[in-house]
Amino acid sequence: MTNPYPKSNMPQAHNPTVVPSQPVNPNSGRTFFDTSRAMQAARDRGPIIAPDSRHVKYPSMRDLEKLTIPRPASDIRLGRFDEVLARDLGRHISSRVKEGFRVSPSEAVGVLHHYVGSVRGLQLFDASSQADFEKLAARFAGDPSEKSFQAVEQYLNSLTPEAR
């Protein structure tokens, strides 16, 4: 058997122009702007309030269960519903009411009342948590200001879901 390739035409054992492969960097597709936007989104979630003796648990849903919450009629986003993790429900309601303040205080009151009715209709809170939420919303409706909303926001941020 004769070799059709003489030794002079054989490729070299090692090609010196080829760069050995580098380990894959998982963040190689991520730019500085993506990273800074992610950090900004984490900051926009609001302050983390440490649990205290007033820490309320509402026996509603498990921590990572997704809830489908209807949007207020005044919300101009595409779609009629929001999907929210159960643990983020209070923060979601707070952020939507703060967006209502950008329009007017009466809009913020309307948005909060929408969520009070939604939470009641979907039976997400137990009876005592629902009653407390309605009392705080009524107080807020009497004096719709960002200062009076702080009590409602602290209450919403102190809620943690439990499995029923």
Instruction: Calculate the CA dihedral of residues 144, 145, 148, 153 and round it to 10 degrees.
Output: 90
- Whether 87 shows a pLDDT value over 60: the answer reads yes
pLDDT reading at 143 higher than 60: yes
Residue 19: CB atoms within 10 Å: 5
pLDDT at 138: 93
Confidence of residue 17 (pLDDT cuts 50, 70, 90): low
Helix ranges restricted to H, 5-145: 32-44, 89-103, 105-122, 127-142
Structural domain spans, the chain: 54-161
> What pTM value is reported for the model?
0.59
